[in-house]
Chain A
Amino acid sequence: MNAEVLQVRNLRVRYYTTRGAVKAVEGVTFSLYQGEKLGLVGESGSGKSTIALALMRMIKAPGRIEGGQVLLGGMDLLKLSEEQMRLARLARIALIPQGAMNSLNPVMRVKHQIADAIFAHDGSISGRDADLRIAELMDWVGLRKEVPNMYPHELSGGMKQRVCIAMGICLKPQVVLADEPTSALDVVVQRQVMDTLESVQAQLGAAVILVGHDMGVMAQFVDRIAVMYAGTLMEVGPIEQVFEEPLHPYTQLLIATLPSLEAKSAFRGIPGIPASLLDPPTGCTFHPRCPRAEGICRTDVPASRELRPGRWVACHLQNGGRK
């Protein structure tokens, strides 16, 4: 196994609202290895985007990181000063946020927006060098050399997203977080963007965390997958193994309910609605929707155990290695 480049230990994030504390992330632990693609999959409101923001220390009030460690190359990001974290952002760990392509500055040319990021970290770099770097980035993401001089509205959705990827990697970070990079895009463009992400990662030798809700996209892109539900990780493991033999009931349902192109079949959904993070169910947060829940599931929070090498599951039914 490759070296661990990012270790998240027992991360907890809460949002304090007028109606109470929302437990967005409750004790999440996982590792990211050199050069791998980790998928973080979950429904809306599961807390996956919050994890991405927390890793970047971009959680704003009323949210607060309550505890845990985020070790990037041995350095705990949560203990850095504001200035140190600012320098680490983009240079060592980068985020391509959800809806990034709609957040490009409409009155600035693409190259100035990328240059902004570069200069913010290294004011001493010359304009010429910045231009060279931008040209190199365009090449990496497969955009034409005229693109840096264009405005965002002149680009298609897929091209804008690739500009955002270029911005994200402009300082060659070790870790890239991509939050739903293809959600508003059509299937063809989606594929292009994912291919771009893959080739960029190979060039950089970086590790990628892909946050999303579509298991189909995950199946095609990631090496390992982490399944989130209501703020906790339910299952983590290599993608092929998880698909072939999902151990957690939630994962099983997620995979079973994927529509297929093989043959027509009845639509199957996951019954119930995603758990409220403000007032989560007691014990295992998934128990109200779980087809196999038992008494203990209602009372005790299941701990995450490594049932097989590299496969972690948080489920009472799995204790003792039983299926």
Chain B
Amino acid sequence: MTALLEARGVSKTFNAGGFFSKKQLVALDNASLVIDADRPSITAIAGESGSGKTTLARLILGIIQPSAGQMLYKGKELDKMDGAERRSFRREVQAIFQDPFEVYNPFYKVDHTLVLSVEKFGLAKSRAEARDLIENALRTVGLRPEETLGRYPHQLSGGQRQRVMVARAFLLKPRVIVADEPVSMVDASLRATILESLLKLNQELGVSLVYITHDLTTAYQLSGSILMLYQGSVVEVGDVERVIKDPQHPYTRLLVGSIPLPNPKLRRSGDKLRVTLDEVSANLSEGCRFADRCPYVTAICRESSPRLYLTEPRRATACYLFKDSPTATSEEVSRASA
């Protein structure tokens, strides 16, 4: 397996507190992820807000630099690339963001962002060719050019705006699209069409996706493998069927158990996993971050952070419940995420 995009043990620390304070906030701690160059994949990164998933997305996109570890594209570290390599990276790794309104400059019509992409990457030699490319991209995501072009962002619905963004990302024929919570601000009924267009990009056009979300149901439906984040640490990684159907880490179990089932007959009545404290203090201790909320917590959990244990050939969980399994090497973790 050759790696197209790889995060090798990346960490990111921010300076919290004021000018004189040395307080650090560890947003992401030792996360590894691989996107295979040989076959298109869909990887989900799941977690609550504050879990570090957006930080990981920004590291992958090269918007910020890791404090530790390496972020590689085609084997080359992002901050060591020269101009041409950077350009090629920019083109091959695109993104879709969460807020379908904020991503548009309110001064311009929605055409602006599409035209800019074509222009800056030299995708077309003439206005007519550019127009064709844009209309084609819009049709690929299920929009009608005559109903979309020439309009201002506030004249389209949230779902339409988000789909225009998918079209924009697609225009550049990227190899990877990082979608940061693309449907969480869109109505539940409109989510399917957007996710469907993303799936189409993957299945028909071979684009790999990194799908960042807090919604496990859509993560399950869309992706092949999943990475669970909790307060900056990777707690579980592996094939999505296995992780969702048979969650191992207590946090994953809590999440999966909290999903509102679309079946009134299956109402959750108080189950065993009750959350003991609802807000957690900024965790500066050495132990497992989930210790305060974990129903299975033991003494060792508070002393040191568990490493990722390889519980199945392509699955790893960071919890002392599985300490009998071998510690996962970074290659094994990478393979689990691919």
User: Are A and B close enough to touch in the complex, i.e. CB under 8 Å?
Assistant: yes
Instruction: State the A residues within 8 Å of B (CB).
Output: 43-45, 155-159, 186-192, 213-217, 219-221, 239-240, 243, 253-255, 257-261, 264-271, 273-274
Q: Out of A45, A156, A189, A261, which one reaches B220, CB within 8 Å?
A: A261
Q: Is the CB of A219 within 8 A of B260?
A: yes
B255: interface (CB < 8 Å):
yes
B204: interface (CB < 8 Å):
no
Q: Is the CB of B264 within 8 A of A220?
A: yes
B215: interface (CB < 8 Å):
yes
Q: Is the CB of A267 within 8 A of B192?
A: yes
Q: Out of A187, A188, A189, A269, which one reaches B189, CB within 8 Å?
A: A269
Q: Out of A216, A219, A255, A273, which one reaches B159, CB within 8 Å?
A: A273
Q: Is the CB of B262 within 8 A of A260?
A: yes
Say how far B188's CB is from chain A's closest CB, in angstroms: 5
B254: interface (CB < 8 Å):
yes
- Please count how many residues in chain B sit with their CB below 8 Å of the partner chain's CB atoms: 41
Say how far B247's CB is from chain A's closest CB, in angstroms: 11
Q: Is the CB of B157 within 8 A of A273?
A: yes
Q: Which residues of A contact B193 (CB under 8 A)?
A: 267, 269, 271
Q: Is the CB of A155 within 8 A of B258?
A: no
Instruction: State the B residues within 8 Å of A (CB).
Output: 48-49, 157-160, 187-193, 195-196, 199, 214-218, 220-221, 241, 244, 254-256, 258-265, 267-268, 275, 278-279
Q: Is the CB of B262 within 8 A of A239?
A: no
Q: Is the CB of B264 within 8 A of A187?
A: no
Q: Is the interface of B mostly helix, strand, loop or mixed?
A: helix
Query: In the docked arrangement, what's the CA distance between A219 and B221, Å?
Result: 20
Q: Is the CB of A219 within 8 A of B263?
A: yes
Q: Out of A45, A189, A190, A264, which one reaches B260, CB within 8 Å?
A: A190
Q: Which residues of A contact B158 (CB under 8 A)?
A: 44
Q: Which residues of A contact B216 (CB under 8 A)?
A: 187, 261
Q: Which residues of A contact B261 (CB under 8 A)?
A: 216, 219-220, 261
Q: Which residues of B contact A258 (CB under 8 A)?
A: 188, 262
Query: In the docked arrangement, what's the CA distance between A80 and B258, Å?
Result: 43
Q: Is the CB of A190 within 8 A of B189?
A: no
Q: Which residues of A contact B256 (CB under 8 A)?
A: 261
Q: Which residues of A contact B254 (CB under 8 A)?
A: 188
Q: Is the CB of B189 within 8 A of A254?
A: yes
Can you name the residue of chain A whose Cβ is closest to the Cβ of B190?
A: A269
Most A CB within 10 A of own CB, among B217, B259, B278 = B278
Query: In the docked arrangement, what's the CA distance between A189 and B48, Å?
Result: 9
* 30 A-B residue pairs with CB within 8 Å: A44-B158, A156-B279, A157-B49, A159-B278, A159-B279, A187-B215, A187-B216, A188-B254, A189-B278, A216-B217, A216-B261, A219-B261, A219-B262, A219-B264, A220-B260, A220-B267, A240-B265, A243-B262, A254-B189, A258-B262, A260-B217, A261-B216, A264-B220, A267-B192, A267-B193, A267-B196, A267-B199, A268-B192, A269-B189, A269-B193
